[in-house]
């Protein structure tokens, strides 16, 4: 190979080496500055952010021991679930605006802390639902509990679906539990698990508080969920919920009429008051049939839309 050819080959190798070194250098720089070059698969504005727990949380004036790692994790879980389940959270706000004004004065009248309205919220989502065990209504009252507290429960009338009456029954139960355990937190836990079960667990495990008990998954989540929902509902903007007043559901204005006879045709009865059957049943869900038997001539108070 002559001298000119050797020189040309050497120059070519130097140029190629320079290109390769430059490419590697650029790649290293990209890696350092942008360790995750993968294109985002969501909106650039979408972000799932870890939540900071408040320094202090309480239920009915009784503090939540957030310095306990297990309790802290449980509350954190419920804050995350209820913050990022956005559709359900918004429905909580909407329904709370409609039904809390009915629940709050009844709690106050019976001396039950206002925080218990959040118990009703997590029990049913403020809907007249039925649980797998047969509990019904906003407060998820069992048939036996309802009857023990004077509720009429049969195929024609089920007063567990009457929000005012069921709130009063829930208050009676909670007051008895508070008297028994000396703690509103334990009273709330007993609403979920039953007084006897909570009493037995406290005795078996030789502890005095709900937060020291090892309970079923459902009851272990119960109070953390209540305090998490209370925190979110109390501070909507802090948890990313944005709405106007007209986005919220409004209470329905009604008045009551006393009836002490049978109603053979609720459709006709509703029409006489300017309502459809559907409207009537929505505000009187405790009437389970399209008629009212009332063989005993009991006095019922029926809501009529204003």
The CATH number assigned to the domain holding 131 equals: 1.10.530.10
Tokens representing 82 are 């209820």
State the pTM of this model: 0.85
* Residues 200-249 pLDDT 10s: 999 999 999 999 999 999 999 999 999 999 999 999 999 999 999 999 99
Q: 152 and 228 share a domain?
A: yes
Tokens 């990209």 belong to which residue? 30
- Number of domains observed in the structure of the chain: 2
Q: 156 and 262 share a domain?
A: no
pLDDT, position 19: 47
Mean pLDDT for 38-58 is 89
Say if residue 48's pLDDT is above 50: yes
Q: 265 and 153 share a domain?
A: no
Q: 273 and 158 share a domain?
A: no
Q: What band does 44 get if pLDDT is binned at 50, 70 and 90?
A: confident
Residue 32 lies in a domain: no
Q: What band does 6 get if pLDDT is binned at 50, 70 and 90?
A: low
Last residue of a domain, one of 200, 227, 247: 247
Q: 151 and 100 share a domain?
A: yes
pLDDT, position 222: 98
Say if residue 4's pLDDT is above 60: no
Last residue of a domain, one of 207, 224, 247: 247
Q: 262 and 150 share a domain?
A: no
Say if residue 22's pLDDT is above 60: no
Q: Write down the mean pLDDT value for the chain.
A: 91
Q: What angle do CA 121, 123, 126 make, to 5 degrees?
A: 45
* Residues 252-291 pLDDT 10s: 999 999 999 999 999 999 999 999 999 999 999 999 999 9
Residue 165 lies in a domain: yes
Tokens representing 174 are 């909670």
- Residue 110 and residue 180: Cα distance in Å, rounded? 17
pLDDT, position 41: 83
Q: 152 and 283 share a domain?
A: no
What residue numbers bound the domain in which 162 lies?
Answer: 58-247
Q: What band does 21 get if pLDDT is binned at 50, 70 and 90?
A: very low
Residue 133 lies in a domain: yes
Q: 239 and 187 share a domain?
A: yes
Question: Residue 232's closest CA among 89, 47, 115, 85?
Answer: 89
- Residue 229 and residue 59: Cα distance in Å, rounded? 11
Q: 170 and 64 share a domain?
A: yes
pLDDT, position 119: 98
163-181 helix and 195-205 helix, angle to the nearest 10 degrees: 20
- Residue 141 and residue 251: Cα distance in Å, rounded? 23
Q: 159 and 135 share a domain?
A: yes
Question: Residue 289's closest CA among 163, 146, 154, 164?
Answer: 154
Say if residue 16's pLDDT is above 80: no
* Residues 89-134 pLDDT 10s: 999 999 999 999 999 999 999 999 999 999 999 999 999 999 999 9
* Residues 155-169 pLDDT 10s: 999 999 999 999 999
Say if residue 26's pLDDT is above 80: no
Tokens representing 215 are 């309970």
- Residue 180 and residue 190: Cα distance in Å, rounded? 10
């Amino acid at each position: 190979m002559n001298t000119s050819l050797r020189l040309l080959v050497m120059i070519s190798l130097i140029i190629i080496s320079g290109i390769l070194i430059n490419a590697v250098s650029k790649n290293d720089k990209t890696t350092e500055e942008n360790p995750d070059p993968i294109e985002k698969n969501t909106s650039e504005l979408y972000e799932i952010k870890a939540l900071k727990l408040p320094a202090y949380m309480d239920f009915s004036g009784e503090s939540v021991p957030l310095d306990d790692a297990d309790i802290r994790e449980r509350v954190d879980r419920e804050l995350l679930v209820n913050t990022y389940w956005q559709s359900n959270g918004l429905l909580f706000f909407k329904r709370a605006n409609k039904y809390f004004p009915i629940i709050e004065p009844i709690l106050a009248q019976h001396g039950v802390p206002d925080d218990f309205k959040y118990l009703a919220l997590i029990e049913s989502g403020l809907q007249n639902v039925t649980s797998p065990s047969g509990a019904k209504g906003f407060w998820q009252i069992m048939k036996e509990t309802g009857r023990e507290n004077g509720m009429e429960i049969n195929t024609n009338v089920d007063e567990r679906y009457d929000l005012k009456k069921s709130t009063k029954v829930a208050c009676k139960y909670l007051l008895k539990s508070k008297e028994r355990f000396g703690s509103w937190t334990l009273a709330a836990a007993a609403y979920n698990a039953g007084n006897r079960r909570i009493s037995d667990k406290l005795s078996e495990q030789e502890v005095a508080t709900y937060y020291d008990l090892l309970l079923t998954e459902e009851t272990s989540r119960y109070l953390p969920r209540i305090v998490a929902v209370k925190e979110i509902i109390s501070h909507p903007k802090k948890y990313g919920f944005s709405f106007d007043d007209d986005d919220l559901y409004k209470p329905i204005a009604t008045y009551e009429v006393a009836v002490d006879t049978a109603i053979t045709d609720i459709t006709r009865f509703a029409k006489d008051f300017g309502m459809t059957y559907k409207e009537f049943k929505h505000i009187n869900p405790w009437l389970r049939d399209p008629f009212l038997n009332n063989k005993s001539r009991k006095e019922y108070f029926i809501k009529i839309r204003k």
